[in-house]
Structure 1
Amino acid sequence: MTFHVGQVLEGVVTGIQPYGAFVQLDEKHQGLIHISECRSAFIHEIEDEIKVGQPVRVMILDIDLYSHKISLSRRTVLDGYDKKKTYTEKINQEHKYTQHHYWTNQHLDIGFETISKSGQSMINEALERLHQ
Structure 2
Amino acid sequence: MSIEVGAKLQGKVSGITNFGAFIDLGDKKTGLVHISEVSNGFVKDINDVLKVGDEVTVLVTSVGNDGKIGLSIRKAQEQPQEKREFAKKETRNRPAQKKSFSRGQSSANNKQDFDTLMSSFLKDSDDRLSSLKRNTEGKRGGRGGRRN
For Structure 1 versus Structure 2, the TM-score category normalised by the shorter chain is 0.5 to 0.7
- Three-state SS of the structure 2 residue aligned to 1:39 is coil
Number of aligned residues: 82
Please name the residue that 2:72 is paired with. 73
- Three-state SS of the structure 2 residue aligned to 1:31 is strand
- Three-state SS of the structure 1 residue aligned to 2:26 is coil
Cα deviations by residue, 1:57-87 (Å, 9 ceiling, x for unpaired): 000000001x100000000122x15x75xx9
Q: Which amino acid aligns with 1:61?
A: T
Q: Which amino acid aligns with 2:72?
A: S
RMSD: 1.5
Please name the residue that 1:20 is paired with. 20
Q: Distance in 1 between matches of 2:27 and 2:46?
A: 25
Q: Distance in 2 between matches of 1:53 and 1:28?
A: 16
Cα deviations by residue, 1:68-126 (Å, 9 ceiling, x for unpaired): 00000000122x15x75xx9xxxxxxxxxxxxxxxxxxxxxxxxxxxxxxxxxxxxxxx
**What TM-score comes out, normalization by structure 2 length?**
0.53
Please name the residue that 1:124 is paired with. none
Q: Distance in 2 between matches of 1:23 and 1:4?
A: 16
**Residue 21 (structure 1) shift:** 0.2
**Residue 27 (structure 1) shift:** 2.7
Q: How does 1:75-94 map to 2 (within 5 A)?
A: 75-78=74-77, 80=78
| Structure 1 spans left out of the alignment, 5+ residues | 88-132
**Residue 22 (structure 1) shift:** 0.2
Percent identical residues: 39
| Structure 2 spans left out of the alignment, 5+ residues | 85-148
Q: Does 1:52 align with 2:52?
A: yes
Q: Does 1:61 align with 2:61?
A: yes
Q: Which amino acid aligns with 1:74?
A: I
- Three-state SS of the structure 1 residue aligned to 2:36 is helix
- Three-state SS of the structure 1 residue aligned to 2:61 is strand
- Three-state SS of the structure 2 residue aligned to 1:2 is coil
**Residue 41 (structure 1) shift:** 0.4
